[in-house]
Chains A and B, each alone.
Chain A
Amino acid sequence: AQTVTQSQPEMSVQEAETVTLSCTYDTSESDYYLFWYKQPPSRQMILVIRQEAYKQQNATENRFSVNFQKAAKSFSLKISDSQLGDAAMYFCAYRSADNNNDMRFGAGTRLTVKP
Chain B
Amino acid sequence: DGGITQSPKYLFRKEGQNVTLSCEQNLNHDAMYWYRQDPGQGLRLIYYSQIVNDFQKGDIAEGYSVSREKKESFPLTVTSAQKNPTAFYLCASPGRVKGAPVYFGEGSWLTVV
Using a CB–CB cutoff of 8 Å, the interface residues on chain A facing chain B are: 33, 35, 43-45, 47, 50, 52, 91, 93, 95, 97, 100-101, 103, 105-108, 110
Q: Which residues of A contact B50 (CB under 8 A)?
A: 101
Q: Once the chains bind, are A103 and B94 in contact (CB under 8 Å)?
A: yes
Q: Once the chains bind, are A35 and B43 in contact (CB under 8 Å)?
A: no
From B37, B88, B101, A35 is in contact (CB under 8 Å) with: B101
Q: Once the chains bind, are B31 and A101 in contact (CB under 8 Å)?
A: yes
Using a CB–CB cutoff of 8 Å, the interface residues on chain B facing chain A are: 30-31, 33, 35, 37, 40-43, 48, 50, 88, 90, 92, 94, 96, 98-99, 101-102, 104, 106-107
* A interface secondary structure, majority: strand
Q: Once the chains bind, are A91 and B102 in contact (CB under 8 Å)?
A: no
| Extra A-B contacts (6), CB below 8 Å, given A44-B104, A101-B94, A105-B42 | A47-B101, A93-B102, A101-B30, A101-B48, A103-B102, A107-B41
